[in-house]
Chain A
Amino acid sequence: MNNIRNFCIIAHIDHGKSTLADRLLESTGTISSREMKAQILDSLALERERGITIKLVPVRMNYTAQDGQQYILNLIDTPGHVDFAYEVSRSLAACEGALLVVDATQGVEAQTVANAYQAIDQGLEILPVINKIDLPSARPDNAKQEISDVVGLDASDAVLTSAKTGEGVRDILERIVKDIPAPNGDPQAPLQALIFDSVYDNYRGVICYVRVMNGTIRTGQNIMFMANGITYPVNEAGVFKPGFTPVNELKAGEVGYITASIKTLAEAQVGDTITDANNPADSPLPGYKKVKSVVFCGFYPVERDNYPQLRDALEKLCLNDSAVTYEPESSEALGFGFRCGFLGLLHMDVVRERLREEYGVELVATAPNVIYEVVKSNGDVIEAHRPSDFPDPSEIAEIREPYIKLSVFMPSEFTGRVMQLVQDKRGTYKSMDYITPERVRLVYEMPLSEFIVDFHDKLKSQTRGYASLDYELIGLKASELVRVDILVNGEAADAFSFICHKDAAYNRGHAVVTKLKELIPSQLFEIPIQASIGRRVIVRVNVRALRKDVLAKCYGGDITRKRKLLEKQKEGKKRMKQIGKVSIPQEAFLAFMQVDTGEK
């Protein structure tokens, strides 16, 4: 056990984490350069495409150090994104140390800080690494200074490396052996193994990635999942070399995997503790929680007939991503689909891409939204997913919505613009500090609902891509929210109603009714379109009545042609949805689902 080192790499996106991991594998001979696809650990096609890591893939390396001893180094790769904060925390819990990789040309970024703090909180030994020193614009001393100033870690002895050229990689391996503590644990104690990830395999069922904390896990042993009490006999235990390699047993301190013919990921949740069914541990390892979706959107097949295909794809996808939730829903514009819940925006994009890439499903995604909590006057508390879930304004005592704490790192010249942007999105100022004379960190609290609607894009365009951000959910807060109803010819059109802050109600209501006015064709009578809060109408526009719709001339030769023309017009009407006496074309529903509601 003294010769085992369990560590992970934490870094901001693009700071070279995956390349460095590849270099470590190569350097220890775990994988020859011949077998080396660039960035071997990012196994999902999408991850490689985006250059980001989402799913953790652990690997075991054998290393002979300068002291002549053989070491086993277990690298547990972590997703760098805040959407997966819980998974990151479980991966960190499986390690004793972390490499903190900082780009020598860019310095400390938002996610560097968030992940470093998380590692420090969990008592990991942090080993600062300055990467990309081969680049002409590299300023390693500045990067060291920033680590010390912003993260508060002494980085004077940080390893300087270039994952690209291989320079400094040996030094990293030596420092891992020297600085990161060996795991401790009692191989004789009752079994406690932490599940830090689990994946689904079509042939073997669920494969649990585990770190054995105490005790020993063996093939054939009866194990129990402590969160739900389900027991299974172990089919196979093994280690990552980097392929799955069976071993007889995994002892305390070791990292490996087990299979036990487990059918669904829900039975083997990340963060749960595996113990011996015949000799269970007194308590599970700390930190387990059920993950909860925070961002929701509708997925609909592009072709309505492809609904079963989408359903099957979602079912399969959920076998190896238990964080996705879905339930059927239907929309006037899009037909049958699913309302899906995600850990965050990136997670949502990842799932959508996977459905497309791995399952070949073309889909339409509606604008994302969050869950609100409504406290009624009678004290009842309800969860509201859709505007239609909201009770009448007179019955509402308070509405709460999820808030985030947002940190933005950026060159100081953009401060004014970013503050403006965040304030427009209902952000509340918390703090601002200078990391260096040229770089600023802004901390705000803002509603998640505002964050998930194009905040990232706007931030990028306001800062020409120089800002980085990180956020964490800080819980629900009361907000002055209202439901704005849209009435078409006096009838409520549920599909167009929305929730927003009361100060934005007029502008957004105006944007929606104006858009509808463009999209609803003139009909036989004038159609008022109104936006209202409760019974109070805040905006009204009219779609003027149709004045002429007849092209004359219809004699013997024209009758058939004319009838076909009318057939066509009729078919067009058929595709429209009736609200009261008004026909509303699909495009109106579609446009609304993707509408940028025009806030200034």
Chain B
Amino acid sequence: MIRDFTLHTKHCSLYIHVPFCEKKCGYCSFYSVTDKRGVHSWLEAVKREAESYSRHGRVSLSTLYIGGGTPTVLTLSEWESLMSIILSNFGTSSITEATTEANPNSLTPEHVSFFRDNNFTRISLGVQSMNDSELMTLGRIHDSQSAGNAMKLVKSSGLNLSCDLIFAIPGQTLRSWDYSLRCVMDYASHISCYQLTLEPGAPMWAKYGGDDLNGVGYKFYRYAQYILPRKNFTQYEISNFASPGHECRHNLAYWNHSDVIALGPSAVSYLDGVRYTNPRTLAEYLSGNEPVREELSPRESEIELAVLSLRTRFGVARKNLLPEIERAIKEMPPDLFVITPERIALSPRGMRLGNYIWSEIMLYAEG
């Protein structure tokens, strides 16, 4: 994977995709494999890819995010190899946030010590639910007890904890949703709430796929928007809540069109306005297939940025906003937006209707 372009950016985020899992979860359609024999060659390929960036000069990282997959299925020695790839190809001294994803059952105290010793600041834990029957429905391999233990483990290490929760699980009630939320509130400084969405290819698709779950999710989402701010978690994006100062900077980079280098199969980089999507499967990635390049026109890019910025509570600056977008927004009911002289953002109700609003904006902006 040879990069034949010169990076203009001096500061950017780095994402590394670890495409390995112990077991595929029922709802998941992210790319991962359960056969860990490929880890060594994956590391080799990630190294080559990292070098293809660093050959033109060292890029200084602002944030780091290791996702998957399940990064915690890697052993400590594999983790050491991964860290040395990062350290030898990128400048790490300016990193303000370093996160790894983790799974409650594979996260060990040794992992946590390793992360702390290697200057990670944050662990994102796939709790999903604190109700065992919901976890079974989702096809998760952990139970609520191991999730609780993992949360305590991270908390006691002093690292920041982010927890993922899923709502609109078949059989879920508002009461059980409330319970899951309250359990993670005690440990986490950041909570991501995702509605269960099934895509063809996910194991649960056969049983529940194709149902329109959008309406089903309303009450859970509404409840999260109600309870979390009361517990000092501000909704700073459609699916993310954080206590003050704990917003995920790495993810904000995506929504602000900041530069991101992404390594690993199916990973997506965004550099100098161009998006590069790596080959999806490990095999294709290992064989060195080129990423797919996507470059939007300046106008398309502007519309995309407006839509992405409107995901967050910071919204979009009015100064450079396309007049068509501003007009589209004025046409919609005012209770969907929070409008200040400088910026426009979505109100909590606006966040519930994001897709509708964004497609409306795209319709207008098309002219």
Q: Which residue of B lies closest to A574 (CB)?
A: B363
Interface bits A554-574 vs B (CB < 8 Å: 1, else 0): 111101100101110110011
Q: Which residue of A lies closest to B336 (CB)?
A: A524
> Quick one: which of B194, B214, B363 contacts A573, CB cutoff 8 A?
B363
- Segment at the interface with B among A31-39, A479-487, A543-551: A543-551
- B221 near A548 with CB under 8 A, answer yes
Does residue B154 face the partner (Cβ distance < 8 Å to A)?
no
> Quick one: which of A547, A549, A557, A563 contacts B354, CB cutoff 8 A?
A549
State the CA gap A567–B359 with chains docked (Å): 7
Does residue A553 face the partner (Cβ distance < 8 Å to B)?
yes
- B358 near A566 with CB under 8 A, answer yes
On chain A, the residues within 8 Å of B353 by CB distance are 524, 546, 548-550
Which B residues from 161 to 200 make CB contacts under 8 A with A? Answer: 193-195, 197
State the CA gap A423–B316 with chains docked (Å): 65
On chain A, the residues within 8 Å of B270 by CB distance are 556
Does residue B266 face the partner (Cβ distance < 8 Å to A)?
yes
On chain B, the residues within 8 Å of A569 by CB distance are 355-356, 359
On chain A, the residues within 8 Å of B214 by CB distance are 548-551
- B215 near A566 with CB under 8 A, answer no
Interface bits A523-551 vs B (CB < 8 Å: 1, else 0): 11100000000000000000000111111
- A566 near B355 with CB under 8 A, answer yes
On chain B, the residues within 8 Å of A556 by CB distance are 15, 254, 260, 262, 267-270
> Quick one: which of A524, A554, A573, A574 contacts B333, CB cutoff 8 A?
A524
Instruction: Count CB-based A-B contacts (< 8 Å).
Output: 99
Tell me the smallest distance from the CB of A336 to a CB of chain B, in Å: 24
Tell me the smallest distance from the CB of B300 to a CB of chain A, in Å: 9
> Quick one: which of A524, A552, A565, A573 contacts B195, CB cutoff 8 A?
A552
State the CA gap A524–B352 with chains docked (Å): 11
- A524 near B262 with CB under 8 A, answer no
Does residue B238 face the partner (Cβ distance < 8 Å to A)?
yes
Given contacts A524-B336, A566-B362, contact A549 B356 (CB under 8 A): yes
On chain A, the residues within 8 Å of B194 by CB distance are 552-553
Given contacts A548-B214, A555-B251, A556-B254, contact A566 B359 (CB under 8 A): yes
Tell me the smallest distance from the CB of A233 to a CB of chain B, in Å: 63
Q: Which residue of B lies closest to A525 (CB)?
A: B333
Interface bits A5-28 vs B (CB < 8 Å: 1, else 0): 000000000000000000000000
Tell me the smallest distance from the CB of A522 to a CB of chain B, in Å: 9
Interface bits B200-225 vs A (CB < 8 Å: 1, else 0): 00000000000000110110011000
Tell me the smallest distance from the CB of B193 to a CB of chain A, in Å: 7
Does residue B239 face the partner (Cβ distance < 8 Å to A)?
yes
- B362 near A548 with CB under 8 A, answer no
Does residue A581 face the partner (Cβ distance < 8 Å to B)?
yes
State the CA gap A573–B359 with chains docked (Å): 8
Given contacts A550-B351, A556-B15, A566-B307, contact A524 B356 (CB under 8 A): yes
- B358 near A547 with CB under 8 A, answer no
- B218 near A548 with CB under 8 A, answer yes
Tell me the smallest distance from the CB of A564 to a CB of chain B, in Å: 11
State the CA gap A566–B275 with chains docked (Å): 18
On chain A, the residues within 8 Å of B218 by CB distance are 547-548
Interface size on A, residues (CB 8 A): 26
- B363 near A557 with CB under 8 A, answer no
On chain A, the residues within 8 Å of B262 by CB distance are 556-557
Tell me the smallest distance from the CB of A576 to a CB of chain B, in Å: 10
Given contacts A524-B353, A546-B356, A569-B359, contact A559 B195 (CB under 8 A): no
Q: Most chain-A Cβ atoms within 10 A of its Cβ — which of B294, B307, B358?
A: B358
Does residue B136 face the partner (Cβ distance < 8 Å to A)?
no
On chain B, the residues within 8 Å of A559 by CB distance are 254, 268, 275, 304, 308
On chain B, the residues within 8 Å of A547 by CB distance are 215, 218, 352
On chain B, the residues within 8 Å of A570 by CB distance are 359-360, 362-363, 366
State the CA gap A560–B269 with chains docked (Å): 12
- B193 near A552 with CB under 8 A, answer yes
Does residue B243 face the partner (Cβ distance < 8 Å to A)?
no
Does residue B311 face the partner (Cβ distance < 8 Å to A)?
yes
Tell me the smallest distance from the CB of B281 to a CB of chain A, in Å: 14
- B311 near A554 with CB under 8 A, answer yes
> Quick one: which of B195, B254, B294, B331 contacts A551, CB cutoff 8 A?
B195
- A551 near B197 with CB under 8 A, answer yes
On chain B, the residues within 8 Å of A554 by CB distance are 238, 254-255, 308, 311
- A549 near B238 with CB under 8 A, answer no
- B362 near A549 with CB under 8 A, answer no
State the CA gap A523–B355 with chains docked (Å): 12
State the CA gap A560–B307 with chains docked (Å): 12
State the CA gap A552–B164 with chains docked (Å): 12
> Quick one: which of B215, B255, B266, B333 contacts A548, CB cutoff 8 A?
B215
Q: Which residue of B lies closest to A521 (CB)?
A: B356
On chain B, the residues within 8 Å of A557 by CB distance are 262, 266-268, 277
- A581 near B331 with CB under 8 A, answer yes
Interface bits B282-295 vs A (CB < 8 Å: 1, else 0): 00000000000010
Does residue B7 face the partner (Cβ distance < 8 Å to A)?
no
Q: Which residue of A lies closest to B164 (CB)?
A: A553
Q: Which residue of A lies closest to B352 (CB)?
A: A548
Interface bits B323-357 vs A (CB < 8 Å: 1, else 0): 00000000111001000000000000001111111
Tell me the smallest distance from the CB of B173 to a CB of chain A, in Å: 18
Which B residues from 61 to 95 make CB contacts under 8 A with A? Answer: none
- A550 near B15 with CB under 8 A, answer no
Please name 7 pairs of A and B residues whose Cβ atoms are closer than 8 Å in the assembled complex, sorted by A: A549-B214, A553-B194, A556-B260, A556-B268, A560-B268, A570-B363, A573-B363
Closest 10 CB pairs of A and B: A552-B239, A550-B354, A569-B359, A548-B218, A549-B356, A570-B359, A556-B268, A557-B268, A549-B355, A570-B362
**Residues on B facing A (Cβ under 8 Å):** 15, 193-195, 197, 214-215, 217-218, 221-222, 238-239, 251, 254-255, 260, 262, 266-270, 275, 277, 294, 304, 307-308, 311, 331-333, 336, 351-360, 362-363, 366
